[in-house]
Structures are given as structure tokens and as C-alpha cells.
């Protein structure tokens, strides 16, 4: 029951200094312009709540992988500028993280004001979860609020270290992640189906395993399907295959049968003679991929069959695309799945990563119950693993 955690609404923040950990790891172009501000916008409800309640907010985040060095291409300055525009109030940018500039800004901050610390990963103490760095960081505030679900599976200083020195609660974004995903895994309405995609079975073995016995059906899509077909003696041509997982796949299939969870595999496959949008492509029966061809997408019969199963579901969890959806000729499978999920009456959870990108690209994010903000964190949470950044928060 990792999701019964105190949120920012369970503590009094009036007149307090709050250290707010966000996930502002946003994509930027060569000139440092932010190309997608979704993660910044997602932090706004928690930020506005804190400011409305009379808190002084000290925002911190990582950006990129500077590996403990001050590399200015990873500075948070453009994020602070963009955040002030979105909030309609000044966000003071600190030159350092725990140095004299941060100390000055954080000691002078008043309720209703916002300070942003420089990129946490400029200090090697962040990723090492160094106690000295954690202590300095926490000395700026009275309360710690974590709203960076995408980083909750990392035991870093700003995620777990500071929770040893400050009362730690979740922000509104994490609160929603825990409520929706925790509720779905703890007490799902049936039929409960999982749609599992992505390239490698080994990356999702734990997740598929955790759905067996809980789900009524698991629909396999994407690159991992070819590992299933090969394990069952099918021909997959030059398709991607996780050869190390062939025996594990057989065990999974047997375990699913024993537990009464039906595993569905694609009926047809769109294949191409080259890994590009310009290759010769055709649709063949799944498990019968010609020698030099590779599987690139699920075919129309699979989309139709899976669509019927999705339509009857009451709870859906989807993680991983159905094909190489970045290439227009092989995007139809993922699109078909996305539309079926969006049109269903079910509680639908999109588990971050590429499936979230597909839903957003199609403009369907408002037609599903929840799009998770955490890729790896979402997978680990759905698997039932303990996330360090959630475990350290105060229980309700």
C-alpha cells in the first residue's frame, strides 16, 4: 500500500519555506530553447497551491547528465525564465545549489516568492546521496515536497536524502500517480487487461510477471512479440529478438495458463526489408516472417481483435508502443491501440515513456484516465517494487 502517503494538502505550509523537488528534465534545442514544456506545466498545480497557501517555495531539479560537474549547457536558467512566464511572477535563479548565492536567496525569501536552485546534478553529492549535501539542501527549508515521480525510483540526495532531515510529503502530481496507479493495481475493476509493448522482453519481464494472476488478459505488441513467436517455434525473419529470454517466455506462458491470465499474441505483422520508412513493406501472418524481412508493426487484423478486447475492459494499463511508430508506415498499430483505449469506458492508465508520447502525439491525453509522468518509475511502481522516493514520504 505504498500509495497511502501524506500529500502537501495534509500539512500546514503557511509561512513555511518549502523545498519542492520537481522533474524539470526538459528537452532543449542546440540554442538552449525548451522544445517541450510539459514537465514544467505539470508542476504548476502544486506550485500554485503552495503559493496560495502562503508558502515560500525553493524549487530544485536535475537536467540532463552533467555527472557532478558544472556544465552550463545543463543550466536551469532557461527553465526558471519559462517558469516565471507561466506563473506570472518572478522566479529568482540561484547561481549555485548549496553555496553562498543559494544561502542568501533562501534566507531572504518571503511567502509567495519562488527561488530556483541550480541543477542538482552539478554536485556529485546528488547522485551519491551524500549526507552532507542532503543536510545542506534541507537546511534551506521547513518542509520537503516531492513532485518528481519520474525520479522517484532513484535514491538521490534530493529524493531520499533530504527526507531524513525534513517532514516529507508528496506534491499533487505524485499524489495523483499513487492514487490512480495504486488503486488500479490494488483493487482493479474487471475485466482488467494489460497491453505490453516495447522492444525487449527482459525489460518488461517483472512487469508482465506481476500482471499474471491479476489481469484477465495480457495483449503482447511491439518488438517483444517476436521473442514470444520464436519461443513457440514461429519464424521471425530478421526481426528483433531477445534470445536470452526464450526460456523465460515459455515459463511465463505456462505460469499465465496456470493462473488463468490469457496471453494474446498478434495475428498479423507488418514487415519490411529494411529498418526505415522507405523500405518495401507488406502484411504477413504473425509467426511467418519471410527470411530477410523484419517485423515493424502489428497488422490490421490484430488491431481489430485487440480493439474488441479493449472495448470490453473495465481497467486498462498500457506500456510500450505496438511498432516503430516514429515511422509513418509503421505507426498504424500504435495509433489503433491508442484510439481503442481512448474510446473505451475503462479506467485507462498509460505507463509513461513511448506509449505516453504516442497518446500525446495523437492529442488523446484527455481521453484517457491517466498518463503517467514516470517511465522507469511507473514500470517499477506497477511491478509492485518499492520506490525509494515514495517509501521515504510520511504515511497518511
Catalytic (active-site) positions: 39, 200, 353, 376
Q: What is the DSSP letter of 240?
A: -
Q: Which residues does 6 contact at the CB level (< 8 Å), separation at least 6?
A: 169, 170, 393, 394, 395, 396
| Distance, CA of 302 to CA of 268 (rounded, Å) | 6
Q: Which three cell numbers stand for residue 63?
A: 537536467
| Distance, CA of 116 to CA of 318 (rounded, Å) | 35
H/E element, 376: helix 376-382
Residue located via cell numbers 499513487: 178
Residue in 40, 38, 48, 39 with CA at minimum distance from that of residue 18 = 48
Q: Which three cell numbers stand for residue 192?
A: 482488467
- Given a contact cutoff of 8 angstroms between Cβ atoms, the answer to whether 257 and 280 are in contact is no
| Distance, CA of 114 to CA of 75 (rounded, Å) | 17
- 73: three-class secondary structure by DSSP: helix
Q: Which three cell numbers stand for residue 237?
A: 525473419
- Given a contact cutoff of 8 angstroms between Cβ atoms, the answer to whether 142 and 15 are in contact is no
| Distance, CA of 140 to CA of 242 (rounded, Å) | 48
Amino acid at each position: 500500500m505504498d500509495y497511502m502517503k501524506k500529500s502537501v494538502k495534509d500539512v500546514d505550509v503557511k509561512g513555511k519555506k518549502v523545498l519542492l523537488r520537481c522533474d524539470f528534465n526538459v528537452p532543449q534545442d542546440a540554442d538552449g530553447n525548451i522544445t517541450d514544456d510539459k514537465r514544467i506545466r505539470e508542476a504548476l498545480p502544486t506550485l500554485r497551491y503552495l503559493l496560495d497557501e502562503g508558502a515560500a517555495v525553493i524549487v530544485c531539479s536535475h537536467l540532463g547528465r552533467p555527472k557532478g560537474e558544472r556544465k552550463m549547457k545543463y543550466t536551469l536558467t532557461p527553465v526558471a525564465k519559462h517558469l516565471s512566464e507561466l506563473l506570472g511572477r518572478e522566479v529568482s535563479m540561484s547561481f549555485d545549489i548549496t553555496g553562498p548565492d543559494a544561502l542568501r536567496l533562501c534566507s531572504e525569501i518571503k511567502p509567495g516568492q519562488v527561488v530556483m536552485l541550480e541543477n542538482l546534478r552539478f554536485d556529485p553529492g546528488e547522485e551519491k546521496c551524500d549526507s552532507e549535501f542532503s543536510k545542506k539542501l534541507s537546511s534551506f527549508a521547513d518542509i520537503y515536497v516531492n513532485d518528481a515521480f519520474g525520479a522517484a525510483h532513484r535514491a538521490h540526495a534530493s529524493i531520499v536524502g533530504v527526507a531524513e532531515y525534513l517532514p516529507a510529503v508528496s506534491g499533487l502530481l505524485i499524489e495523483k500517480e499513487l492514487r490512480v496507479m495504486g488503486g488500479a493495481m490494488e483493487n482493479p475493476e474487471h475485466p482488467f487487461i494489460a497491453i505490453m509493448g516495447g522492444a525487449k522482453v527482459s525489460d518488461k519481464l517483472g512487469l508482465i510477471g506481476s500482471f499474471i494472476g491479476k489481469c484477465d488478459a495480457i495483449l503482447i505488441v511491439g518488438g517483444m512479440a517476436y521473442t514470444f513467436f520464436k519461443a513457440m517455434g514461429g519464424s521471425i525473419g530478421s526481426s528483433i529478438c531477445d534470445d536470452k529470454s526464450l526460456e523465460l517466455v515459455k515459463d511465463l506462458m505456462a505460469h499465465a495458463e496456470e493462473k488463468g491470465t490469457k496471453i494474446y499474441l498478434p495475428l498479423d505483422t507488418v514487415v519490411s526489408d529494411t529498418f526505415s520508412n522507405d523500405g518495401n513493406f507488406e502484411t504477413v501472418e504473425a509467426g511467418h516472417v519471410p527470411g530477410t524481412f523484419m517485423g515493424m508493426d502489428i497488422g490490421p487484423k490484430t488491431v481489430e481483435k485487440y480493439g474488441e478486447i479493449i472495448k470490453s475492459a473495465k481497467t486498462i494499463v498500457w506500456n510500450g508502443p505496438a511498432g516503430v511508430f516514429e515511422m509513418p508506415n509503421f505507426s498504424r498499430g500504435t495509433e489503433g491501440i491508442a484510439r481503442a483505449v481512448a474510446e473505451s469506458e475503462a479506467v485507462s492508465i498509460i505507463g509513461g515513456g513511448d506509449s505516453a508520447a504516442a497518446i500525446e502525439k495523437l492529442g488523446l491525453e484527455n481521453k484517457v484516465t491517466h498518463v503517467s509522468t514516470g517511465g522507469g518509475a511507473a514500470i517499477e511502481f506497477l511491478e509492485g517494487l518499492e520506490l525509494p522516493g515514495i517509501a521515504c514520504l510520511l504515511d497518511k
